[in-house]
Amino acid sequence: MLVTSDLPLRTRFAIAAARTAAAVSRRTGRGSGGMIGGRIALKLDPHALQRLARGRIVLLVTGTNGKTTTTLMLRRAVEALAPVTSNSDGANMPDGVLAALAANPDAPFAVLEVDETYLPWVAERVDPAAIVLLNLSRDQLDRVGEVRKTERELRAAIARLADTVVVANCDDVLVASAAGAGNHPLWVSTGQTWRDDSIACPRCGRAVRHHPQDKMEWDCVCGLVRPRPEWVLDEDDLIGPDNPPERLELNLPGRVNAANAALALAAATCVGVPLSVAVQRVRSITAVAGRYQRVPYAGHAVRVLLAKNPAGWCETLPLLEPDQPVVIAVNAREADGRDLSWLWDVPFERLRGRRVIATGERAADLAVRLRYAEVDASAQPDPLRAVASLGSGPVELIANYTAFREVNTRLADVG
C-alpha cells in the first residue's frame, strides 16, 4: 500500500501546496478546490500523477453521459473491499483527477471520472486496472470537436494499454470500436438505442447495418460487428456470466441509470466485489452530486436534473413527472459548448400542454426552440426566480452543465 511518506519530497511538496490552494479556493467560494489544487501540483511536479497512482488499483470511468453517476456507483461498490479515493465532485480534467489521487494517498483503490478527451493522457500515466467506457455521442461540438475523433483517440489509447480491462457498452457502435482495440474488453449490453452518431462506421465510413429482426444487433461490411456481451441488462435484471439474474431495483430513476449501474457492477466484479454485495451498495444511492433528490426552495420541492446534450435529454424527458411544471436552464459557456443548435435535436414537442419556463443565460435561444415546438413557455433568465414565480407544488428543473452547477450552489446556500 502506498503511504505519503513513500513519495519523493517534490511530490509531497506539490501535494501540500495543492491542498493549501484547494482550501483557499473552497474558503473563498470560488470552487470545490479540486481543479486549482490539481493544477498547482502538476506544475510543481509533472510526474505527480504517475507517482500518486503507483501501487494502487486505479479504475477510470469515461464517456459522454453518466460519468459522475457511474463513478459514484463504482466507488460505493468497491468500498466494500477497501477505502477508495474518487473525484465525486465531477472535476474530471487532469488536475481534478490528480487532486482526487492526492486527497487520500493511502486509499488502495482510486475510482476516477475522466473527461473522454483527456482519457488517453490520464490512462498513460496511471496505468489503470480497468476503464469503464459508457457511451459516445455528440456533445459540445464546438469545443471537443467531432465525437468520431474522440473515438479514434480512445481507440489508439486503449490499444496501448496491454493489461487494462475495458468494461464497455457493446450497444454503442463507437464504444465497441474503441474498446475492441484492447486485449481485454468486457462487453456489457445496456440496451442503449441512441444511434444518431454512429450511422457511418467509425472504422471505414460506410453505413453501419442494423439487423431487421433483432434491433440490438449491428455490423459493417468492413468486419466491425457488435461484440457478444458477457453481461446483459434485460429490463431491470442484470444477467452476468457466473450469476443468476440480479434485480437492480435502484433508487435512481430511469433506464439510463440502470445502464450506468450495469457497467459499474460489471467493473466492480472485475476487482473482486461479489455481485450481490455490489448491487446492494449501488442500490443505496439516492442522489448524485445534487441530482435527482428534491430540494425545498421558495415553497417548492425542486428536483434538479442534468441534461446537456440530445442523448441526455432523450433519457431525461421520460423521467419527468406528468403535470409538474418544468423549468429549463440553458447556458452556452465554454464548458457547455458555445453552439446551442443541439436544442433542435431534442424533442421538446413532448412538453406540449405543460407549464414551461425557459431560463438561463441563453433563455432566448431556448424560447425560440420552444415556440417552434408549440410549447407555451415564458422566458426568465434566472432559473430560481422562475421556480419562485410558479404556483405552489413540486417543480422539475432541468439544466445543462454550468447552469446546473450554479443552481445547485444556490440551492445549497439556501438550504
| Interface with other proteins (CB under 8 A) | 138, 141-142, 145-148, 195-197, 199-202, 205-207, 338-345, 364-365, 367-374, 379
Single-letter amino acid code for the residue at 153? E
For residue 224, the minimal CB distance to other proteins (Å) is 13
String of DSSP letters for 270-291:
HTT--HHHHHHHHHT---BTTB
For residue 252, the minimal CB distance to other proteins (Å) is 29
Q: Which three cell numbers stand for residue 131?
A: 476503464
The number of residues in the chain equals 415
When the beta carbons of 187 and 342 are compared against other proteins, the nearer one is 342
φ, ψ for residue 398, nearest 5 deg: -115, 125
Q: Shortest CA distance to 388 belongs to which of 302, 262, 305, 274?
A: 302
For residue 172, the minimal CB distance to other proteins (Å) is 16
CA distance 330 to 369: 12
Query: What strands lie across the sheet with 130-133, from one edge to the other?
Result: 84-86, 109-113, 57-62, 130-133, 165-169, 184-189, 231-234, 237-239, 246-247
When the beta carbons of 2 and 368 are compared against other proteins, the nearer one is 368
Question: E-strand spans in 162-250?
Answer: 165-169, 184-189, 209-210, 218-219, 231-234, 237-239, 246-247
When the beta carbons of 212 and 322 are compared against other proteins, the nearer one is 212
For residue 220, the minimal CB distance to other proteins (Å) is 12
When the beta carbons of 293 and 378 are compared against other proteins, the nearer one is 378
CA distance 164 to 40: 29
For residue 110, the minimal CB distance to other proteins (Å) is 34
For residue 293, the minimal CB distance to other proteins (Å) is 31
For residue 351, the minimal CB distance to other proteins (Å) is 15
φ, ψ for residue 111, nearest 5 deg: -115, 110
When the beta carbons of 106 and 374 are compared against other proteins, the nearer one is 374
When the beta carbons of 177 and 316 are compared against other proteins, the nearer one is 177
When the beta carbons of 197 and 336 are compared against other proteins, the nearer one is 197
When the beta carbons of 37 and 202 are compared against other proteins, the nearer one is 202
Question: Residue 132, SS3?
Answer: strand
For residue 379, the minimal CB distance to other proteins (Å) is 7
For residue 123, the minimal CB distance to other proteins (Å) is 24
Say which residue the cell 414537442 belongs to: 349
Strands 84-86, 109-113: pairing is: parallel
Neighbours of 149 (CB within 10 A): 11
For residue 300, the minimal CB distance to other proteins (Å) is 25
Helix axes 9-27, 94-103, angle to 10 degrees: 100
When the beta carbons of 46 and 205 are compared against other proteins, the nearer one is 205
For residue 409, the minimal CB distance to other proteins (Å) is 25
Tell the burial category of 382 from Cβ atoms under 10 Å away from its Cβ (0-12, 13-18, 19+). middle
Sign of the torsion formed by the C-alpha atoms of 317, 321, 322 and 323: negative
When the beta carbons of 163 and 196 are compared against other proteins, the nearer one is 196
Question: Residue 265, SS3?
Answer: helix
Neighbours of 86 (CB within 10 A): 24
When the beta carbons of 251 and 341 are compared against other proteins, the nearer one is 341
